[in-house]
Amino acid sequence: MSALKAFGGGKRRPINLFFAEIIIALLFFSISGAVIIKVFATADMKSQQSARLERVIILAQSIAEAYSDSGNFSRAAELAFGGGLVVGEPAADGGEVTLSIENGSMYLTARESREFTGAGEISSLTLTFTANGEEIYSLDCSAYIRNGGEPDE
Amino acid sequence: MKKYQNKTLSDTVSTVGSMLLFLMFAACLLMIIAVAAGTYSRISSNFDKTFGSSASLRYISNKLKGCGSAEIVGQGSGIVLRSDGIFDVIYFGDDGLYEKTVTSETDIGLSGGDRIFELKGMTVSDLGELYKITVTYDGGENSTLIRKG
């Protein structure tokens, strides 16, 4: 009874108990609302990340396909990104080239190494896509270039 | 009647306060539902656009890699994939990507196929040692390169 009185309740003012109950219910629903908004925001972000990863994977595969044909990264990148893109060739001794893609929201780093053998040249390329300083996808590919790219005798 | 007469000002304020709180709660709930619906709609739209186009690209790429030989038909709007005497025709038409499998060369044509993807356009181009497949969807396009052979 004293507890009821502390709420100002009891028989005289029962409406204050209802008021307290409403506040507790609102608090519960507010917390639930905050959690739901956070979940939806996370879902939206994950959806965008997933779409970006999908685009990046297709792009990486396209570059890898073109690179495996020619062993030339700049040509492969120009074919994959379309015309108008001037791409420098990475240095043969493990050099790398970084490209800004998708309006600067992502970076593509290409690291190339070449191994010369008697039968020809094996060229390896590592493509790494980064966004906000974090790696989002990486792909290794290689090309075999017979006679150093020169026509057969 | 007696009860009504006994109501004090604080009871009235308390009731109005409760109603206002409930109103605020209802407004917040509606806002959350609106935000949630918008987010879900955006996620669904992005999903359809991104994965619809990439799924069609992968489908054509895998078919192209698995076939014996390929020939571009219909000025790039279709491709005929040959393997073991079976012709698989994939073509764009009527806002969709269609596919049909025939056994006779005379049946090859860009009609009569089954609709496999909903798209706004599809072109296949020959870049020498590579094929370039481009699909167009609502709001953008996606393309991939496939090595011949």
Confirm whether pTM is higher than 0.80: no
Under an 8 A CB cutoff, do B14 and A62 touch?
no
Count the Cβ atoms, other than its own, within 10 Å of residue B141. Answer: 14
pLDDT tens for each residue of B42-69: 888 888 877 888 899 999 999 998 888 8
The count of domains in chain B is 2
Under an 8 A CB cutoff, do A62 and B143 touch?
yes
Q: Which one has a higher pLDDT value, A21 or A94?
A: A21
Please check whether residue B91 is in contact with residue B79, taking contact to mean a CB–CB distance below 8 angstroms.
yes
pLDDT(B19) > 50: yes
Q: Three-class SS of residue A13?
A: coil
In a domain, A22, yes or no: no
pLDDT tens for each residue of A102-148: 888 889 999 988 888 777 888 899 999 999 889 999 999 988 877 65
In a domain, B140, yes or no: yes
Q: Which of residues 101-130 of B touch A (CB under 8 A)?
A: 127, 129-130
List the single best residue of A59, A62, A103 to mutate versus B (max B Cβ within 10 A). Answer: A62
Please check whether residue B134 is in contact with residue B127, taking contact to mean a CB–CB distance below 8 angstroms.
no
Which residues on chain B are in Cβ contact (under 8 Å) with A12? none
Structural domain harbouring B91: 51-147
What is the interface pTM, i.e. ipTM, of the complex?
0.76
Q: Is residue B142 packed enough to be buried (19+ CB in 10 Å), middle (13-18) or exposed (0-12)?
A: buried
Q: Residue B71 corresponds to which amino acid?
A: E
The residue among B148, B110, B118, B149 whose CA lies nearest residue B136 is B118
Structural domain harbouring A47: 38-149
The count of residues in chain B is: 149
In a domain, B88, yes or no: yes
Please check whether residue B133 is in contact with residue B122, taking contact to mean a CB–CB distance below 8 angstroms.
yes
Answer yes or no: do B91 and B30 share one domain.
Answer: no
The residue among A148, A136, A140, A139 whose CA lies nearest residue A48 is A136
In a domain, B122, yes or no: yes
